[in-house]
Amino acid sequence: MKLFDGGRAPNPRRVRVFLAEKGIEVPLVPVDMGALGHKSDEVARRNPLQRLPVLELDDGTVLSESVAICRYFEELQPEPPLMGVGAVGKATVEMWQRRMELNLLMVVAQAFRHIHPAMKEWEIPQIPEWGEANKPKAAEFLALLDRELATREFVAGDAYSIADITGMIAIDFMKPARISVGEDLSNVQRWYAAVSARPSAKA
């Protein structure tokens, strides 16, 4: 088994943090995304979408999409559970994972890709007006998240889950996207400090 990894980019890190929380070690194949290594033949013949991470199993089966790779490891080694337990628990974690991804991580990514000068060759056409339109969406969702986190320790309930991983990485991604977390959002600040202090956050 080997994991084609993309360094500091958000999606490869989601899988590395997940694996660190599980205590699973997978041999990494580093790919230099700055040099467009994700568009190389090595990656493209495994993932036609030319994105990372990509997991290759020993029998040649290839899995891409961060959350799908996490699902594979969750099924293989359920403990500690990071995708919920039981029908309601699994659905609740999936709901919050999706909310964090679709309403925060992807929104921040749109702001970054459509505004940052370094993304000019990556996002064609770059539309700064669309990038800017995403900033208030991120702020609005963070305010909603702050109200939710007033009632519980982690994003999807009392246990740490993949929803926390997606959320932490989305907030880290806000820095290069030049969006800040309001200082008044004390529940988000408390939660972000806690999840960032876990050893897995260094992965």
166 near a copy of itself, rule: CB under 8 A: no
Cα separation, 142 vs 131, whole angstroms: 17
Name the one range near a copy of itself by CB under 8 A: 2-10, 20-28, 81-89, 187-195.
81-89
AA letter at 33:
M
180 near a copy of itself, rule: CB under 8 A: no
Chain centroid to Cα 147, Å, comes to 22
Residue number with CB closer to a copy of itself (68 or 196): 68
24 near a copy of itself, rule: CB under 8 A: no
197 near a copy of itself, rule: CB under 8 A: no
Task: Report the half-sphere exposure of 47 (CA within 13 A, side-chain side).
Answer: 22
Q: Which of 42, 45, 61, 180 binds a copy of itself (CB under 8 A)?
A: 61
Name the one range near a copy of itself by CB under 8 A: 3-11, 143-151, 166-174, 177-185.
143-151
AA letter at 193:
A
Indicate the DSSP class of residue 177: T
Q: Work out the burial of residue 68: count CB atoms within 10 Å of its CB; fewer than 13 is exposed, 13-18 middle, 19 or more buried.
A: exposed
Cα separation, 131 vs 112, whole angstroms: 7
Work out how close the CB of 64 gets to a copy of itself at its nearest, in angstroms, rounded to a whole number: 6
Q: Which residues pair with 28 in a beta bridge?
A: 3
Cα separation, 59 vs 199, whole angstroms: 32
137 near a copy of itself, rule: CB under 8 A: no
Q: Which of 44, 72, 157, 189 binds a copy of itself (CB under 8 A)?
A: 72
Residue number with CB closer to a copy of itself (75 or 184): 75
Q: Which residues pair with 54 in a beta bridge?
A: 4, 64
Tokens of 193: 């400090």
5 near a copy of itself, rule: CB under 8 A: no
Q: What is the contact surface with a copy of itself in residues (CB under 8 A)? A: 48-49, 57, 61, 63-65, 67-69, 71-72, 75-76, 86-88, 90-92, 94-95, 98-99, 103, 125, 127, 129-130, 133, 144, 147-148
